[in-house]
Structure 1
Amino acid sequence: MQYSNEIRSYSKEIINFQHGRVKVRTTAEQEALKKKERAEKLSRYRIGMSIVFKKRKDKIYDDELMMVTERMVNPDIYTLWNIRREAFTNNDWDEKLLEEFYQNELRLTENCLNENPKSYWVWYQRIWITNHLAECNWKKELMLCTKCLNLDDRNFHCWNYREFVVQKAGISPEEEFEFATSKILNNFSNYSSWHYRSLLLSKMFHNSDQNGIDEKKKQELDLVMNATFTDPNDSSAWFYQRWLLNTHECLPILSQALIKSDNVILFVNKNISAESIYLKINNGNENVQWKSLQQTKISKLWFGKLKKQLNETNNVQIEIEGTFYPLVCNNQKWIYKKRKYKFCSNKNQLLEQLSSYKQLIEMEPNNKWAYLTSILLMRKIDFIKFYENILTNLNVLVNIDSLRSNYYKDLRSKYIIEYKIYELWNTEEDQEIKTEIDLSGLNLITLSNNEHFSFFEQINLSANYLSDSLHQLFILQSCTKLSLSSNQVENLKKFPTLQNLEVLYKLKLLDLRENPICNTKELQTSIAQISPDLQLYIE
């Protein structure tokens, strides 16, 4: 068979025929060609980058720089995007030309999103450009978001950009909520959609009264329950339900306050700054030196030092965010507490859900999500009544989900401590704060950083398993007597240096009997470093 020179040349470059069949390049030939292409691409990239960095160094942000970076641009090479933004801000282009460059940048980023719709740097570049446009077509931006989410409704970069666009376009949370609903109904297994929905609900709750919040949460709980039964092993809806059960509790900001001598302890239900706390004595503001436990600017737990001691005739109030909380005087202590256990308002609905999840457990006895959500529901409905059932479910979870057994054991310790504190509260008089608690022999493995510990002066933690949680004792700011006997303590390396705390009733007694550390020679030295005046029981 005869071939023309052109065909012969082409056949040598691409394919050969032998015996009437196509001869494909060998693997080695293909790899060699790919290697050559990569080398050429790398060479072009290095040449281009050298030009870009030279111009950047010389602060030459001209058309050539824009052209070279556009030709080289890769969605995930953030340096090139940074340089392009520098060019926009360091040039003296007139408004019309600058607007043309901005529009071109929108086209460029959209092309890059077609290539990689989950590129963080491209989405950020688009936010930057739209923020600098004189007029932006936000409707078009919403359409772009919808297009990307139709391709992949789990694209959380796009969800974040959509949140930005919605705010700029002035779309109400209620209107956008409908869009989020359509996406969730299309695919329950979509964590990004559920998360976006929680952001919208938080905004809607902010502008609603408690009845409106309760009604909306009721609707959401019905929706999320359908989702969990549709795919019981998918975590997305389960996590959203946990958020629903714990969000927007109508609690007073101040939970507990105690003034004794010239020291103040303050526990609130959300993180606040010291600047938002005012101690008022006889209607006048008292100068208080506030400190958080870990020297943070915001905290739920605050310690204060007064310049003078109070007397029983003083009218004492605490003001936080415009709300006044009166303190009562009892035996030279000024007390505020708003902490009795509060039951939920939608109890019947949660009981129905609890019953349904019990049925799900019967059908799928190894479904950890059903067990865990049942625990959260029981805790929400009536923690005291369902306490034993909660512990039983936690023990089941330890067995069926062994990879997270330590998490469930920590949760068990947390709930046991909370239950004991609730028991203590139920025995208190209205104008009393009990300062002694017995948590011995409860198999605790963690103290769960419960801020209420800061109000106790005598704490019995003996016969537990707290050897790995000694660092959590830093919360015991008022403790005068502490028992840690039979806790398998082998060293005190993580024991907090209590003498360095500025607001402290000094630790005078430490009970370490029946712990391995009692047999070590370094014990006395370690104790001296913690507190020189510490009375030690080791025998």
Structure 2
Amino acid sequence: MYIFKACEHNEPVCCKLFMYVGGHSQHVVCSFLIISENWNRLNQKSAFELFLNFFSAQICDLPPGTINDVTNEHNLTVHWTGNHTHRDCALYTGRVESWCRDTATDQELFRSELSVEKTSVLQSELQSVKQLQELEPLNKWCLLTIILLMRALDPLGYEKETLAHFQTLKEVDSMRSEYYSDLCSKFMIENTILKMEYAEVRVFSITDRNLTSLCHLDQLLLVTHINLSSNRLQRLPPQFAMLQCLEVLEADDNFLENLEGVYHLPRLQEVSLKNNKISTLTDLQPLASCPKLKRLDLRGNPVTQAASVESDLAELLPSVTDLLL
């Protein structure tokens, strides 16, 4: 049994728990999403900040030998003391991993299920704003409103139209181009997570989408293979270290200058970083904390031009047997 204490709050909160048990690695991963009852009264900026501050993850090493015996079932419980929320997870006989979670769809994190009446109202509003846009095709407020209405109604069904409107937004309001790029990245990641959940797979692939940032990594804790190739990413955030199930990382053709977020990933075996901006061995230092790393592709990075790079990498990453420079 594991107990986590809540932070002090002056108002009631709702806590959503995710729990993963790894038999081989002998650890438990827990993530928490704490939602204030005053959430709906916050403005957009403060709500976003609250989400950032109130999501957390804990990686807990179990005492050696706790769940080594695969011939018996192991039951673990995590308690959140703030509002008596708990999660039970069973590692069944013969299994090496198990988890208990609500999906993004179940939690309605990215959109709420709409009643027929609300859907009808939003559809009517969307048509009205589209008519206004016909009169003012470059009106940024019309474009942004259309995007948000489409997200509320059907994010996957309107995906292509949403991308087109974002492109127009960045052209007519170039001062906020980076903001629109980040917002578009967020929406595309949400769509990809929904598709992944519908397909019931543990592969997250979002390539050639001009991503400028990563978010919602808390929804990828079970993913074993991530492909982020052909985007505009300059960094992998520290939260990347939560991805304890990750075995393969592809991030070719980006603008990555280091691997700051890729550390202590116990199952990571393959990393492909072709055509990025990695220039020194120090930029690769986090990979030394990934004990199962076997394959590393660095072709097209400045670091490959350094003298004695191959021998230096062999010293830094002794577990790598397939090195491509």
TM-score range, shorter chain: 0.5 to 0.7
Paired amino acid for 1:383: P
- Residues 456 and 513 of structure 1: is their aligned pair in 2 closer, same or farther, counting only changes over 3 Å? farther
CA distance in 1, matches of 2:168, 2:307: 42
Partner residue of 2:164? Answer: 392
Partner residue of 1:337? Answer: 101
> Is 1:519 aligned with 2:308?
no
1:489-522 residue CA offsets vs partner (Å, 9 max, x unmatched)? 122565572545xxx6754433333445433447
Structure 2 contact 17–86 (Cα < 8 Å) conserved: no
CA distance in 1, matches of 2:209, 2:161: 17
Residues 6-85 of structure 1 mapped to structure 2, 5 A cutoff? none
1:70-94 residue CA offsets vs partner (Å, 9 max, x unmatched)? xxxxxxxxxxxxxxxxxxxxxxxxx
Partner residue of 2:58? Answer: 302
CA distance in 2, matches of 1:297, 1:414: 18
CA distance in 1, matches of 2:284, 2:176: 27
CA distance in 2, matches of 1:411, 1:535: 39
> Is 1:316 aligned with 2:76?
yes
CA distance in 2, matches of 1:530, 1:412: 37
Structure 1 contact 271–298 (Cα < 8 Å) conserved: yes
Residues 126-205 of structure 1 mapped to structure 2, 5 A cutoff? none
Structure 1 contact 347–381 (Cα < 8 Å) conserved: yes
Structure 2 contact 278–301 (Cα < 8 Å) conserved: no
Partner residue of 1:265? Answer: 29
- Residues 516 and 313 of structure 1: is their aligned pair in 2 closer, same or farther, counting only changes over 3 Å? same
1:382-411 residue CA offsets vs partner (Å, 9 max, x unmatched)? 222222222121111111111111222222
CA distance in 2, matches of 1:441, 1:364: 30
Deviation at 1:425, TM superposition (A): 0.9
Partner residue of 1:232? Answer: none
Q: Aligned with 2:157: secondary structure?
A: coil
1:217-243 residue CA offsets vs partner (Å, 9 max, x unmatched)? xxxxxxxxxxxxxxxxxxxxxxxxxxx
- Residues 446 and 530 of structure 1: is their aligned pair in 2 closer, same or farther, counting only changes over 3 Å? farther
Deviation at 1:306, TM superposition (A): 1.6
Residues 324-363 of structure 1 mapped to structure 2, 5 A cutoff? 324-329=86-91, 331-341=95-105, 342=108, 343-345=112-114, 346-363=118-135
Structure 2 contact 31–58 (Cα < 8 Å) conserved: yes
TM-score (norm: length of structure 1): 0.42
Picking from 445, 450, 473, the partner of 2:217 is: 450
TM-score (norm: length of structure 2): 0.65
Partner residue of 2:197? Answer: 425
Report the structure, 1 or 2, having the larger helix content. Answer: 1
CA distance in 2, matches of 1:263, 1:447: 26
Structure 1 contact 471–495 (Cα < 8 Å) conserved: no
Paired amino acid for 1:459: I
Paired amino acid for 1:352: S
CA distance in 2, matches of 1:529, 1:476: 26
Picking from 220, 235, 252, the partner of 1:469 is: 235
> Is 1:489 aligned with 2:276?
yes
1:255-288 residue CA offsets vs partner (Å, 9 max, x unmatched)? 532111221222333389xxxxxxxxxxxxxxxx
> Is 1:509 aligned with 2:295?
yes
- CA RMSD in angstroms, aligned pairs only: 3.7
Where structure 2 has 5 or more consecutive residues not aligned to the other structure, the ranges are: 1-9, 37-51, 255-274
Q: Aligned with 1:256: secondary structure?
A: strand
Where structure 1 has 5 or more consecutive residues not aligned to the other structure, the ranges are: 1-202, 208-247, 273-295, 429-433
CA distance in 1, matches of 2:119, 2:77: 34
Report the structure, 1 or 2, having the larger strand content. Answer: 2
Deviation at 1:352, TM superposition (A): 2.9
1:445-495 residue CA offsets vs partner (Å, 9 max, x unmatched)? 3323622344323322333333x2245554544433222333341225655
1:152-211 residue CA offsets vs partner (Å, 9 max, x unmatched)? xxxxxxxxxxxxxxxxxxxxxxxxxxxxxxxxxxxxxxxxxxxxxxxxxxx9xx89xxxx
- Residues 505 and 344 of structure 1: is their aligned pair in 2 closer, same or farther, counting only changes over 3 Å? farther
Deviation at 1:297, TM superposition (A): 9.6
Structure 1 contact 266–301 (Cα < 8 Å) conserved: yes
Q: Aligned with 1:327: secondary structure?
A: strand
Structure 1 contact 461–485 (Cα < 8 Å) conserved: yes
- Residues 453 and 340 of structure 1: is their aligned pair in 2 closer, same or farther, counting only changes over 3 Å? closer
> Is 1:402 aligned with 2:191?
no
Structure 1 contact 518–538 (Cα < 8 Å) conserved: no
Q: Percent identity?
A: 25
- Residues 322 and 437 of structure 1: is their aligned pair in 2 closer, same or farther, counting only changes over 3 Å? same
- Residues 372 and 486 of structure 1: is their aligned pair in 2 closer, same or farther, counting only changes over 3 Å? same
Aligned residue pair count: 260
Paired amino acid for 2:178: N
Paired amino acid for 2:29: I
CA distance in 2, matches of 1:403, 1:381: 28
Structure 2 contact 79–87 (Cα < 8 Å) conserved: yes
Paired amino acid for 1:469: R
> Is 1:372 aligned with 2:159?
no
Which structure is richer in relative contact order (CA contacts within 8 A, separation 6 or more)?
2
